[in-house]
């Protein structure tokens, strides 16, 4: 049995399904709340780069990049029930694909994004094949190994010609095209914003589609899914591939925004951060990715401010306390709050 | 030929460390069916405690038992305070908590003892045996690992507590019915795993030097050993640990692409290969699933 189903089974898009709410009126009320929240977020997102300094814009851009990566991880873990502690590896592959293409072949940065996505899709699909035979703890273990090994893989001598080994690759920051009145930071922000939006819409449609239902069926009961005619092997590998594609695109964007990559940028901590972001945002709740991204971008800084030397410990304590207090993440918390709210409005 | 023998011996010696780590991992896996990703950090912290006591001038023969006892208490405390309240939470929650522990212990060690690399004296002194073939420390590592193994074997085979622990791991419900306090048996398992980890840390520290991040790759090799031998078999884990040590050294020597210090991908390769072709490991039991 996959043991994780208890959190994930009932935590999908509360807006769409209105999970176990008493009246349909309440459900539509929730949709309204969610839509309004979405519109407000969108407006804030568009306005933010004009109201904040360049460093904050950079941080917000990175936040969205992490959110895209977490979105990918969520498709795999939240909707297909497969763990990955190793998504930093796909992020790294995406980043290196983009960087090498720009550095060695002088290809335009926009073109590197889809190609990084495709490369990561293939890599993820291939890694998904052996992962098919693993579940639960074993998959966590294999992907943990992947995460720990990643920096060393990119240091290997046979690849040194491409990756420049430990030296890393420096990338120049692209300017805004078509003479748009934006500085490079603002342009990258909007590029990431657009890609993030596209990624979210695609993920949402994927989850709502026939394929999405097949993925969830596999998550909830692989054997039942198979006997209903779902090709579990194909869909599980596909989920890995799509998930890696998202994370890879995020990695490519990350490389362009940070302007520098080296094997040690993709330390084990990156993979950990992505998992933490996923859990904080809510496993199986797509908008949670944004909150997860915000958490892993800003909470370490807050922890740093609370205690200079002990930031890691503060971060760890926050993580553990969250697991005790709200194990379903912000998604679960929000859903519970909305549920309570609509229950009260119907009883009135 | 001499190179081969040399590498085999080195492999067995480092394999002993991996065997200890693998054993600690398997002990906790047996008790709670989760992999403790913070195992390496716990061992690292224990090693720092030992280092601190040495720095205060406590004699070595006293440092080791003290460290083992403190680590044991620490392991029990972690189980009681952090892991037990989790109960039957889903796997992902457990993983996040382990990672949280990882971050906390790592950061604490860095805060208390900072991140500079520290030399750690070998408990067996300098010098070597058999005409320079094997250093005293390596002989000591192999001997200590073997001793730990024998003690554990006797403990689990012939003592009441050992049998009770096995019963609690095997079938918690029935064990509780015959009067075994399953919760405390699990805590005991954590304590013992922490103590074994402490020994592994003290043995490996003279080789890799002491610093807060020293255990991450060791833990990975430990995992590889545990997987190779089978996560359900302590004997298998030990065998697996030795095998990983030997394979790592031979591959590092004879496959030029891998080179000296970049041997970590071997662990990934081993883990994935074993999990794909024989997920139960060499000695593990097959766990049958019900629909």
pLDDT tens-digit series, residues A138-164:
788 888 888 888 887 777 766 676 667
Taking the CB of residue B86, how many other CB atoms lie within 10 A of it?
18
Whether B206 maps to a domain, the answer reads yes
Q: Could you give the CA distance from residue A149 to residue A89 in angstroms, rounded to a whole number?
A: 9
Contacts of B93 in chain A (CB under 8 A): 7, 279, 323, 327
Whether A33 maps to a domain, the answer reads no
Whether B178 maps to a domain, the answer reads no
Whether A117 maps to a domain, the answer reads yes
Whether A65 maps to a domain, the answer reads yes
Numbers of helices and strands, H then E, in chain B: 11, 2
Whether A304 maps to a domain, the answer reads yes
Whether B286 maps to a domain, the answer reads no
Whether A172 maps to a domain, the answer reads yes
Lowest average pLDDT, out of A87-96, A249-258, A327-336, goes to A327-336
pLDDT tens-digit series, residues A67-123:
999 999 988 888 888 888 888 889 998 998 888 888 777 777 788 888 888 999 998
Name the A residues in 13-52 with CB < 8 Å from any B CB: none
DSSP assignment of B28-72: HHHHHSS--TTHHHHHHHHHHHHHHHHHTT--HHHHHHHHHHHHH
Whether B224 maps to a domain, the answer reads yes
Owning domain of residue A212:
55-330
Q: Which of B102, B107, B262 sits opposite A155 (nearest CB)?
A: B262
Number of domains chain A is built from: 1
pLDDT class of A322 with cuts at 50, 70, 90:
confident
Q: Tell me whether B239 touches chain A (CB under 8 Å).
A: no
Length of chain A: 348
Number of domains chain B is built from: 1
Whether A34 maps to a domain, the answer reads no
Whether A23 maps to a domain, the answer reads no
Q: Which of A4, A152, A158 sits opposite B264 (nearest CB)?
A: A152
Q: Which residues of B72-81 are buried (b: 16+ CB within 10 A; e: fewer)?
A: bebbbebbbe
Contacts of B223 in chain A (CB under 8 A): 141, 144-145
Tell me the CB-side half-sphere exposure of residue A62, using CA atoms within 13 A.
17
Phi/psi zone of residue A80: left (φ > 0), alpha (ψ -120 to 50 degrees), beta? alpha
A143 CB burial (10 A radius; 0-12, 13-18, 19+): buried
Whether B182 maps to a domain, the answer reads no
pLDDT, tens digit only, all 291 positions of chain B = 777 888 888 888 888 888 888 888 887 787 777 778 888 899 999 999 999 988 888 888 888 899 999 999 999 999 888 888 887 777 778 888 888 898 889 888 888 888 888 888 877 777 666 666 677 888 888 888 888 888 888 888 888 888 888 888 878 888 889 888 888 888 888 898 899 889 888 888 888 888 888 888 888 888 888 888 887 787 888 888 888 888 888 887 777 666 555 677 777 888 888 877 777 777 766 655 555
Whether ipTM exceeds 0.90:
no
Whether B149 maps to a domain, the answer reads yes
Whether B167 maps to a domain, the answer reads no
Taking the CB of residue A154, how many other CB atoms lie within 10 A of it?
26
Whether A125 maps to a domain, the answer reads yes
Tell me the CB-side half-sphere exposure of residue B216, using CA atoms within 13 A.
21
Q: Tell me whether B146 touches chain A (CB under 8 Å).
A: no
Per-residue pLDDT, B155:
86
Residue A103 belongs to a domain with what CATH number? Answer: 1.10.3470
Whether B175 maps to a domain, the answer reads no
Owning domain of residue B30:
2-122+137-159+188-277
Q: Could you give the CA distance from residue B47 to residue B61 in angstroms, rounded to a whole number?
A: 15
């Amino acid at each position: 049995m996959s043991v994780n189903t208890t959190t994930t089974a009932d935590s999908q898009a509360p807006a769409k399904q209105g999970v176990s709410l008493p009246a349909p009126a309440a459900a539509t009320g929730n949709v309204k709340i969610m839509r309004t929240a979405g519109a407000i977020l969108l407006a804030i997102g568009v306005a933010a780069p004009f109201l904040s300094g360049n460093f904050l814009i950079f941080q917000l851009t990175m936040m969205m990049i992490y959110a895209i990566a977490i979105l990918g991880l969520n498709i795999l873990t939240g909707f297909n029930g497969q763990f990955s502690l190793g998504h930093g590896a796909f992020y790294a592959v995406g980043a290196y694909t983009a960087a090498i293409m720009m550095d060695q072949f002088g290809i335009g940065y926009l073109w590197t994004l889809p190609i990084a996505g495709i490369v990561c899709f293939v890599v993820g699909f291939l890694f998904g094949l052996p992962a098919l035979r693993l579940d639960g703890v074993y998959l966590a273990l294999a992907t943990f190994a992947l995460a720990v090994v990643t920096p060393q893989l990119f240091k290997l001598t046979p690849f040194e010609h491409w990756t420049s080994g430990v030296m890393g690759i420096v990338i120049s920051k692209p300017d805004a095209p078509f003479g748009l009145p934006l500085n490079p930071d603002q342009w990258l922000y909007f590029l990431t914003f657009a890609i993030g939006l596209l990624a979210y819409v695609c993920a949402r449609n994927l989850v709502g589609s026939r394929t999405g239902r097949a993925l969830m069926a596999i998550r909830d009961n692989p054997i039942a899914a198979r006997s209903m005619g779902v090709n579990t092997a194909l869909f599980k590998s596909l989920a890995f591939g799509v998930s890696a594609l998202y994370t890879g695109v995020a990695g490519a964007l990350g490389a362009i925004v940070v302007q520098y990559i080296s094997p040690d940028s993709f330390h084990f901590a990156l993979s950990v951060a992505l998992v933490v972001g996923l859990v904080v945002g809510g496993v199986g709740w797509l908008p949670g990715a944004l909150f997860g991204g915000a958490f892993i971008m800003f909470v370490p800084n807050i922890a740093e401010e609370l205690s200079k030397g002990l930031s890691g410990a503060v971060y760890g304590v926050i993580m553990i306390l969250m697991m005790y207090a709200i194990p379903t993440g912000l998604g679960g918390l929000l859903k519970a709050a909305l549920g309570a709210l609509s229950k009260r409005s119907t009883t009135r | 030929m001499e190179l081969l023998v040399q590498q085999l011996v080195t492999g067995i010696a480092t394999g002993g460390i991996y065997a200890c780590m693998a054993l600690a991992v398997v002990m906790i896996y047996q008790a709670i069916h989760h992999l403790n990703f913070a195992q390496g950090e716990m061992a690292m912290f224990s090693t720092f405690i030992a280092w601190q006591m040495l720095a205060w001038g406590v004699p070595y023969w006293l440092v080791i038992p003290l460290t083992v006892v403190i680590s044991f208490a620490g392991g029990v405390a972690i189980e009681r305070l952090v892991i037990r309240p989790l109960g039957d939470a889903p796997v992902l929650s457990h993983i996040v908590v382990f990672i949280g522990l990882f971050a906390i212990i790592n950061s604490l060690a860095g805060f208390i003892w900072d991140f500079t690399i520290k030399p750690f004296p070998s408990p067996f002194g300098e010098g070597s045996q058999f005409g320079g073939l094997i250093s005293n420390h390596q002989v000591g590592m192999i001997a200590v690992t073997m001793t730990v193994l024998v003690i554990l074997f006797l403990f689990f085979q012939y003592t009441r507590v050992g049998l009770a622990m096995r019963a609690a791991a095997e079938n918690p419900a029935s064990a509780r019915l015959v009067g075994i306090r399953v919760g405390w048996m699990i805590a005991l398992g954590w304590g013992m795993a922490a103590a074994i980890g402490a020994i592994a840390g003290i043995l490996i520290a003279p080789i890799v030097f002491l610093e807060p991040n020293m255990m991450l790759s060791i833990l990975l090799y430990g995992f590889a050993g545990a997987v190779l031998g089978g996560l359900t078999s302590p004997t298998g884990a030990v065998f697996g640990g030795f095998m990983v040590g030997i394979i790592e050294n031979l591959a590092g020597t004879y496959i030029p692409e891998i080179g000296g210090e970049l041997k970590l991908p071997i662990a990934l390769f081993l883990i994935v290969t074993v999990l794909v072709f024989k997920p139960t490991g060499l000695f593990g039991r097959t766990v049958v699933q019900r629909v």
